[in-house]
Amino acid sequence: MHVSVVGSGYIGTTIAAWFAELGHTVTNVDIDEDVVAAVNDGEAPIHEPGLDELMAAYGGDTLVATTDYDEVADSDVTFLALPTPSNDDGSIDLSAMKAAARSLGEVIAEKDGDHLVVVKSTVIPGTTAETIAPIIEDASGKTVGEDFRIAMNPEFLREGFALDDFKDPDKIVIGAEDERAVETLNRVYEPLVEAAAGDPAIVETGIREAEMIKYANNAFLATKVSLINELGNICKEYGVDAYEVADAIALDHRIDEHFLRSGLGWGGSCFPKDVAAIRAAAREREYDPVLLDATVEVNDRQPERLLDLLDDHTDVAGERVAVMGLAFKPGTDDIRYTRAVPVIEGLLERDAEVVAYDPVATENMREQYPDLTYADSAAEALEGASAALFVTDWDEFGALDAEFEAMADPVVIDGRRIVEPRDGIEYDGLTW
């Protein structure tokens, strides 16, 4: 099939590369000329393990990028993979989606024959049918369900595992109200289902349900982490090992072992904005989402708790303090809503001299905090530091040993249970 993907960011590039690998012809549309040039040169515009190889194989060949929406007309189906960030009040900002829908509508106006538009972005229930479809109708002068079709197909992949998650998903959710849309999407995914190592469930459902399934998925996982963090905080008060407790409750198959690592909490490009958007949407319908409010409150408190622990051990005013890890999780250079930011802010309020280290995210953080000192290695960050705060659970931090001997004062405060307590360091951890 000929598939087009509008937006070549994190999701758009990943799915475009995989659709090419599955044998589809792919046209990628983006407004960013640098992104378009990278794709056509066979280079990945984002950092994701394994993506460079796929881009080298298909970029500029069966995967071609363009800034020109007109090229979408040749495709059978268009996926909209545009950003849906937060407004200041937490509600969803649909401006990129609306702009893309209008541009796409203008192309559909000139097209003979059917076209399927699939919303891949995470959007609030009702958005696809009540906002996106009417914009396309208005710009094209055509009617949804008659002259073109619309569907919603949320994405559940994780950064750092994007390619593996996409090619071997637990489920593929197809939200559509007409048979032809369902049939076309099934054809797009058919080679993926055949190639998948597992046996992905195909969930055929309504458009609103598909939109809500995505928020429910993320809100559930974020709440699970906040719940284990709350329990971990109580464990700490009673001198109980929170990880031993988590390992034991995980044996109950109704709980399972995933997303039970307590610590500094969740960040990233999606949990914070998606939980904020669904809370704002609930309030708009005059429903008070008390549990989701608490999910965020617990998450917001974890960095403060880490800094309180530091205060229990030492006064860092005028002292060099190492911040170990800047990415919102290991395996990515993404620093969006990373827990490192409130930790760094708290240290600066305490007049500490911050030296930060991350294996891959340093350059991104330097743009936000150009005046901090950045170390090129964990050893360099620890040298002469009066305290070290572990923020991201990079494997290399678990292997640190003699490096601690170079600290001026070996106070180690662990936000992720990544350092093993040992003789020679003054260790404390959020949940240990």
Ligand X SMILES: O=C(O)[C@H]1O[C@H](OP(=O)(O)OP(=O)(O)OC[C@H]2O[C@@H](n3ccc(=O)[nH]c3=O)[C@H](O)[C@@H]2O)[C@H](O)[C@@H](O)[C@@H]1O
Ligand Y SMILES: NC(=O)C1=CN([C@@H]2O[C@H](COP(=O)(O)OP(=O)(O)OC[C@H]3O[C@@H](n4cnc5c(N)ncnc54)[C@H](O)[C@@H]3O)[C@@H](O)[C@H]2O)C=CC1
Interface with ligand X by CB under 6 A: which range of 180-188, 189-197, 262-270, 313-321?
Answer: 262-270
Q: 323-362 mask for ligand X (x: CB under 6 A)?
A: -----xx---------------------------------
Of residues 7 and 125, the one with the C-beta less far from ligand Y: 7
Distances from the Cα of 411 to the Cαs of 264, 346, 348, 404, 408, in angstroms?
A: 18, 17, 18, 9, 9
Give Dmax (Cα) for the chain.
74
Q: Which is nearer to ligand Y, 326 or 382 (CB)?
A: 326
What does 84 interact with, of ligand Y, ligand X, none (CB < 5 to 8 A by kind)? Answer: ligand Y
Q: Counting contacts by CB under 6 A, is residue 157 touching ligand X?
A: yes
- Active-site pick, 270, 296, 326, 430: 270
Q: Which residue is nearest to ligand Y (CB)?
A: 9
Closest contact distance (angstroms) between CB of 263 and ligand X is 5
Give me the numbers of helices (H) and strands (E) for the chain, helices first please: 16, 14
What, of ligand X, ligand Y, none, does residue 263 touch, CB below 5 to 8 Å by kind? ligand X
User: Annotated binding residues for NAD(+), as ranges?
Assistant: 30, 84, 122, 159, 273, 336
Spatial CB neighbours of 422, under 8 Å, sequence gap ≥ 6: none
User: How do beta strands 373-374 and 353-357 pair?
Assistant: parallel
Q: Does 266 bind ligand X (CB under 6 A)?
A: yes
* Residue from 86, 156, 250, 428 binding ligand X (CB under 6 A): 156
259 binds ligand X (CB under 6 A): yes
Q: Which stretch binds ligand X (CB under 6 A): 26-34, 96-104, 204-212, 268-276?
A: 268-276
Q: Which of ligand Y, ligand X, none does residue 169 bind (CB under 5 to 8 Å by kind)?
A: none
Interface residues for ligand X in 355-394 (CB under 6 A)? none
Residue nearest to ligand X (CB): 270
The binding site for substrate consists of: 156-159, 214, 259-263, 267, 329, 428
Closer CB to ligand Y, residue 10 or residue 337? 10
User: Applying CB under 6 A, what is the total number of residues that bind ligand X?
Assistant: 21
**Residue 270 is a catalytic residue:** yes
The torsion angle over the Cα atoms of residues 60, 65, 71 and 74, rounded to 10 degrees, is 60
Q: Which residues are annotated as a binding site?
A: 30, 84, 122, 156-159, 214, 259-263, 267, 273, 329, 336, 428
CB–CB of 18/192 below 8 Å?
Answer: yes
**Burial label, 87 (beta-carbon count in 10 A; 0-12, 13-18, 19+):** middle
For residues 2 and 25, is the Cβ–Cβ distance under 8 A?
yes
Q: Which strands form 387-390's sheet, in the order they lie side by side?
A: 373-374, 353-357, 320-324, 387-390, 411-414, 426-429
88-92 long-range contacts, Cβ below 8 Å, gap at least 24? Answer: 89/280, 90/276, 90/277, 90/279, 90/280, 91/276, 91/277, 91/280, 91/281, 91/284, 92/123, 92/124, 92/127, 92/273, 92/277, 92/280, 92/281
Own/partner pairs, 92-99, CB within 8 angstroms, 24+ separation? 92/123, 92/124, 92/127, 92/273, 92/277, 92/280, 92/281, 94/123, 94/127, 94/131, 96/7, 97/121, 97/123, 97/127, 97/131, 97/132, 98/131, 98/132, 98/135
255 binds, among ligand Y, ligand X, none (CB under 5 to 8 A by kind): none
Measured from the CB atom, the residue of 31 and 294 that comes closer to ligand Y is: 31
Question: Is residue 271 at the binding interface for ligand X, with CB under 6 A as the rule?
Answer: yes
Residues that bind ligand Y (CB under 6 A): 6-12, 29-32, 35, 81-84, 96, 99-100, 121-122, 155, 157, 159, 269-270
Which residues, other chains included, contact 346 with Cβ-Cβ below 8 Å and sequence gap of 6+? 303, 304, 307
Measured from the CB of residue 156, what is the shortest distance to ligand Y in angstroms?
6
Torsion of CA 392, 395, 398, 403, to 10 degrees: -90
Give the one entry of ligand Y, ligand X, none that residue 29 binds, where binding means its C-beta sits below a cut-off of 5 to 8 angstroms depending on kind: ligand Y
Q: What is the rounded CA–CA span in Å between residue 338 and residue 343?
A: 9
**Is residue 263 involved in binding ligand X (CB under 6 A)?**
yes
Footprint on residues 203-232 left by ligand X (CB under 6 A): 218, 221, 225
Q: What minimum distance in Å lies between the beta carbon of 290 and ligand X?
A: 22
By C-beta, is 254 or 423 nearer to ligand X?
254
Instruction: Tell me whether residue 157 or residue 372 sits nearer to ligand X (CB atom).
Output: 157
User: 145: phi > 0 → left, psi -120 to 50 → alpha, else beta; which?
Assistant: left
Choice from 158, 283, 301, 313 touching ligand X (CB under 6 A): 158
* Binding positions for ligand X, rule: CB under 6 A: 155-159, 218, 221, 225, 259-261, 263, 265-271, 328-329
Catalytic residues: 270
